[in-house]
Amino acid sequence: MTSAAFTPHAPTLQDVIAAQVALRAQCPLVQCLTNSVSTNFMANALLAVGASPAMVDNPEEAGLFARVANAVLINLGTPTQAQVEAMRLAAAAAQEAGKPWVLDPIGAGGLPWRGGVALELLAHHPAMIRGNASEILGLAGLGKGARGVDSTADPSAAMDSAVKLLDYAGAVSASGAVDYVVGRVGATQTPTLVRIAGGNVLLTRVTAAGCALGALAAAYGAVASDPFTALVAAHTHFAVAAELAAERASQPGSFAVAFLDALDAVEGSTLAARGQVQAAVTLAN
């Protein structure tokens, strides 16, 4: 699957369930070039959903490993010069090898250097872009007000920007109380929105939760039929797991542990009972 793929119809809950079954069956190898804050939690989240993490982010190995991995995540959270070079090599290698890769553009719209890095990476056409609303707004119009890792905008305000970013990626998401995911549908490649409700506010109080969502998107990208389906599946799995975790824990520390357990516990029947994938909406091009 590559970022050029598009789905003949907007993803449904049944598509999400099928992707989750495939994820458990295939155990994709996901290369993560991510920030220093998120490495441990991200790796554990990938293991919990049935994927295999590999935190290979040095210039000597990143490009080679991207060709071996089933999918790649590039997260701009705490970039160093060496890591950025590794990101360039991994993105180029993933594109050449036809491997899906995910861009998580933390702070790209508010910090000039990483904004330039993000633009370079976009040229390698990620399968998916995952961020909060402020990051999606900032990435689409670099330098125009992204605050950084904290979202200051509602996902609905980022939809025009998300559609613009479909020129580079197969699907784009903006996280919030309700997650918004856009992709192109059908032979006409019509921009289409799917909303995913659910989740829990405690996710916002656990470091690296959003980063782990990007990694999960990469894992689903390795097994789903197209990037739009993969991104909807990742958000749905995350939202359902957060709800399950909140039934067992009410404070951030215990929630973080319960959330990893819940990521593991989510199955097709759980998604069927609790997944909140709303009806698709056509957007203006």
Integer angstrom CA distances of residue 104 from 145, 244, 255, 265, 268 = 17, 25, 23, 26, 27
Whichever domain contains 267, its CATH number is: 3.40.1190.20
pTM of the model: 0.94
Domain assignment present for 182: yes
Distance in Å from the first CA to the final CA of the chain: 24
**Segments forming the whole domain that contains residue 142:** 13-282
Domain assignment present for 251: yes
Residue 13's pLDDT is 98
Tokens of residue 76, six digits:
């701009």
Domain assignment present for 167: yes
User: Burial of 160 by CB count in 10 Å (0-12 exposed, 13-18 middle, 19+ buried)?
Assistant: middle
pLDDT tens-digit profile of 184-224?
Answer: 999 889 999 999 999 999 999 999 999 999 999 999 999 99
147 pLDDT higher than 50: no
Which DSSP letter does residue 149 get?
S
pLDDT tens-digit profile of 70-118?
Answer: 999 999 999 999 999 999 999 999 999 999 999 999 988 888 899 999 9
Residue located via tokens 């793929």: 5
How far apart (Å, rounded) are the C-alpha atoms in residues 260 and 253? 12
Residue 187's pLDDT is 86
Domain assignment present for 246: yes
173 pLDDT higher than 80: yes
> Which amino acid, one-letter code, is at 270?
T
- The number of folded domains in the chain is 1
Which DSSP letter does residue 71 get?
E
Domain assignment present for 2: no
Quote the longest CA-to-CA distance of the chain.
Answer: 47
Residue 154's pLDDT is 85
The 10 Å Cβ neighbour count of residue 40 is 11
Sheet harboring 29-33: ordered strands across? 52-54, 29-33, 71-75, 101-104, 128-132, 171-175, 179-185, 190-196, 281-282
Domain assignment present for 7: no
The 10 Å Cβ neighbour count of residue 123 is 11
How far apart (Å, rounded) are the C-alpha atoms in residues 90 and 69? 10
